[in-house]
């Protein structure tokens, strides 16, 4: 048997949310509610259908390798230069491009202990050393992260808002952190859930790009724009960094349909606005339900919430599966008594809350039926 690279020892395949089809087979259910993967329950812009249908006529042709038309359009919207942008097969790919381009064996990368797992995985694949810093109340401890930066540090990841906890680092803290990260270290701020944020304490990072050439911002069309299946995200950074990433990027990583859909999505501010409002309403609905059940939760600025169910979360997770509701069990993310649930449609939130109440407080639920 041919041995794989030693860097792959101990790395597991990424564990996505449980597929709907799999649960149907296992439980014999016909109706499944998936609230595990932070997908947009409100769909995508109606402008996407026409744009994708038009692009279908070009399926025999490779896409342009850097999606230049989309780059110009997005650059104008964000008030950046097109050469500061790079597109990826999801923002996940840009994380991989960064570690492939900048991490040598033994290099260190600082990150939070509970955050998006692909940071750690990609660092390990390249032979780097993840330096994980414990969180405080589900939030990045930037002071401790700063102390972990040494001459061996090549990258620092800050997920803001953080996945899976939904928390943000406050504006003053993050700006002070950015100022103190040494210029030889690349600081990656992952803002996949940026559009959902409504806090006045959130730092707008784009205006800082020119001042800090070592800073990189990641965003995506998978979340609020509802294009998860098409896989398209982007990074904003100094043009010199973009040029390095282009050297290791696959030639046609963003397909024609994805680029067309992303471009059309940028033309529909009404869809964006409505999604934000509906998400806020759903967030309020879930929080109200948690409070009524006496459950604590992390304050979220995203389209999901982590709630503490006060017992092993995998048991509650299995109970919800029996009811046809898929959420994310916290033991997979370092919080053994917590569930992460995607904010859904009003009726979906009701089904989840009713199922959760029936599991946690069965006598109360039975008496109210």
Q: What is the pLDDT of residue 31?
A: 83
Query: Is the pLDDT reported for residue 316 higher than 90?
Result: yes
- Specify the pTM: 0.94
Same domain, 21 and 118: no
Sheet containing strand 215-220, strands side by side: 85-88, 233-236, 215-220, 186-190, 153-159, 108-112, 129-133
| Distance in angstroms (rounded) separating the CA atoms of residues 126 and 99 | 7
pLDDT above 90 for 168: yes
Residue 64 and residue 25 share a domain: no
Position 180 pLDDT exceeds 90: yes
pLDDT digits (tens, 9 = 90+) for 148-165: 999 999 999 999 999 999
Work out how many domains the chain is built from and give that number: 2
Q: List the structure tokens of 29.
A: 């259910």
Cα–Cα distance between 223 and 302 in angstroms, integer?
10
What's the pLDDT score for residue 327? Answer: 96
CA angle 83, 88, 92 (to 5 degrees): 125
Q: Does 2 fall in a domain?
A: no
Who wins on pLDDT, 22 or 239? 239
CATH number at residue 333: 3.90.1150.10
User: Tell me, what's the pLDDT at 369?
Assistant: 53
214 shares its domain with 296: no
pLDDT exceeds cutoff 90 at 309 = yes
For residue 93, what are the contacts with CB-CB under 8 A and spacing of at least 6? Answer: 233, 249, 253
pLDDT confidence of residue 18: 67
Residue 280's pLDDT is what? 98
Q: What integer pLDDT is reported at residue 76 of this predicted model?
A: 98
- Residue tagged 């998860």 (tokens): 228
Domain of residue 21: give its range. Answer: 7-36+269-368
Tell me if 41 is assigned to some domain.
no
Q: Which of 303, 329, 339 is nearest to 226 (CA)?
A: 303
Q: Are residues 232 and 141 in the same domain?
A: yes
4 confidence band (pLDDT: 50, 70, 90): confident
Does 95 map to a domain? yes
Strand-pair partners of 131: 110
288, 217: one domain: no
Whether residues 100 and 246 fall in one domain: yes
Supply the pLDDT for residue 214: 98
Output the pLDDT for position 15: 65
Q: What is the CATH number of the domain that holds 259?
A: 3.40.640.10
Average pLDDT over residues 206-216: 97
Tokens standing for residue 156:
């620092």
pLDDT-based confidence at 25, cuts 50/70/90? confident
Is residue 42 a part of any domain in this protein?
no
Among 60, 62, 44, 104, smallest CA distance to 263 is for 44
Identify whether the C-beta of residue 278 lies closer than 8 Å to the C-beta of residue 66: no
**pLDDT tens digit string along 276-299?**
999 999 999 999 999 999 999 999
Neighbours of 95 (CB within 10 A): 25
At 225-247, the pLDDT tens digits run 999 999 999 999 999 999 999 99
**What pLDDT, on a 0 to 100 scale, did the predictor assign at position 188?**
98
Q: Strand (E) positions, the chain?
A: 33-34, 85-88, 108-112, 129-133, 153-159, 186-190, 215-220, 233-236, 304-308, 325-326, 328-329, 338-342
Cα 303 to Cα 195: distance, rounded to the nearest angstrom: 10
Contact call for residues 230 and 221 (beta carbons, < 8 A): yes
């Amino acid at each position: 048997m041919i041995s794989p690279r030693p860097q792959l020892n101990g790395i597991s395949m990424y564990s996505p949310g449980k597929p709907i089809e799999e649960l149907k087979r296992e439980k014999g259910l016909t109706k499944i509610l998936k609230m595990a993967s932070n997908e947009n329950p409100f769909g995508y812009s109606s402008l996407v259908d026409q744009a994708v249908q038009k692009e279908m006529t070009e399926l025999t042709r490779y896409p342009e390798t850097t999606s230049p038309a989309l780059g110009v359009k997005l650059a104008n919207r964000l008030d950046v230069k097109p050469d500061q942008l790079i597109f990826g097969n999801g923002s996940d790919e840009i994380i991989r491009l960064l570690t492939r381009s900048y991490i040598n064996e033994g290099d260190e990368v600082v990150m939070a202990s509970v955050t998006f797992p692909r940071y750690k995985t990609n660092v390990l694949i390249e032979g780097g050393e993840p330096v994980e810093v414990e969180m405080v109340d589900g939030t990045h401890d930037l002071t401790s992260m700063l102390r972990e930066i040494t001459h061996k540090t090549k990258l620092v990841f800050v997920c803001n808002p953080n996945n899976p906890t939904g928390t943000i680092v406050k504006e003053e803290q993050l700006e002070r952190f950015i100022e103190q990260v040494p210029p030889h270290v690349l600081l990656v701020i992952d803002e996949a859930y940026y559009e959902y944020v409504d806090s006045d304490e959130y730092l707008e990072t784009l205006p800082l790009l020119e001042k800090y050439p070592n800073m990189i911002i990641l965003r995506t069309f998978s979340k609020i724009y509802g294009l998860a299946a098409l896989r398209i995200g982007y990074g904003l950074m100094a043009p010199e960094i973009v040029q390095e990433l282009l050297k290791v990027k696959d030639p046609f990583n963003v397909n024609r349909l994805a680029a067309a859909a992303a471009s059309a999505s940028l033309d529909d501010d009404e869809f964006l606005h409505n999604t934000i409002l509906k998400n806020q309403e759903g967030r309020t609905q879930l929080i109200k339900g948690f409070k009524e059940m006496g459950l604590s939760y992390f304050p979220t600025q995203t389209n999901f919430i982590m709630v503490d169910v006060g017992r092993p979360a995998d048991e509650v997770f299995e109970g919800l599966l029996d009811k046809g509701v898929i959420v994310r069990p916290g033991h997979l993310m370092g919080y053994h008594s917590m569930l992460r649930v995607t904010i859904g449609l009003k009726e979906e939130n009701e089904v989840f809350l009713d199922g959760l109440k029936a599991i946690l407080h069965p006598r109360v639920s039975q008496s109210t039926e």
